[in-house]
């Protein structure tokens, strides 16, 4: 039996947040509950998850101890405030903003390139990822590096 994860998507009403929710459904990621989180002004809106709609909840009032994974895409200032709180509550944070990309204590991960670094999330409870252009470039360069070095 596959373990199901409760997931919070921070920035759920933005383009990236909506895409993350769509990918969770498309890839049949083993979710128990998905919590769509955004600012107070977005509360009451809905986002699509598979064949149902999720009500958007207020990020500021959310209890991150109720989820195992937090996907953050609401901007660096939001991540700066809420990602450490989520991590302290036991939630594994995957941050898609620029906030933690240059923090030596937080792994910057592209799974196809340095997936072993994911284990380093235990330092702070946060995993950062590079911007989209960098991800595409390093995925293309990795086989060359492995074959001949750079």
pLDDT digits (tens, 9 = 90+) for 34-77: 999 999 999 999 999 999 999 999 999 999 999 999 999 999 99
Q: Among candidates 77, 87, 74, 78, which has minimal Cα distance to 121?
A: 87
Q: Among candidates 20, 9, 68, 69, which has minimal Cα distance to 42?
A: 9
**Radius of gyration, CA atoms only, the chain:** 16
pLDDT band with cut points at 50, 70 and 90 for residue 32: very high
pLDDT at residue 16 tops 70: yes
Q: Among candidates 119, 124, 37, 35, which has minimal Cα distance to 88?
A: 124
pLDDT at residue 1 tops 70: no
pLDDT of residue 123: 87
Whole-number Å distance between alpha carbons of 101 and 95: 9
The domain at 5-148 falls in which architecture?
Answer: 3-Layer(aba) Sandwich (3.40)
Displacement of CA 65 from its chain's centroid (Å): 16
**Average pLDDT over every residue of 15-23:** 97
Report the mean per-residue pLDDT for the chain: 95
Domain boundaries, the chain: 5-148
Whole-number Å distance between alpha carbons of 22 and 48: 7
Pairing relationship of beta strands 31-38 and 5-10 according to DSSP bridges = parallel
**Average pLDDT over every residue of 91-113:** 96
pLDDT at residue 11 tops 60: yes
């Amino acid at each position: 039996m596959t373990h199901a994860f409760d997931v919070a998507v921070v920035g759920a009403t933005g383009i990236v947040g909506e895409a993350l929710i769509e990918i969770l459904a498309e890839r049949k990621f083993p979710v128990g509950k998905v919590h769509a989180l955004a600012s107070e002004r977005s509360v009451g809106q809905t986002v699509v998850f598979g064949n149902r709609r999720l009500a958007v909840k207020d990020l500021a009032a959310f209890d991150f101890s109720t989820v195992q994974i937090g996907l953050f895409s609401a901007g660096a200032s939001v991540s700066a405030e809420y990602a450490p709180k989520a991590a302290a509550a036991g939630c594994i944070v995957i941050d898609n903003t620029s906030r933690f990309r240059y923090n030596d204590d937080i792994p910057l991960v592209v799974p196809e390139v340095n997936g072993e670094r994911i284990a380093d999330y235990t330092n702070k409870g946060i995993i950062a990822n590079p911007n989209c252009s960098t991800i595409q470039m390093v995925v293309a360069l990795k086989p060359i590096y492995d074959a001949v070095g750079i």
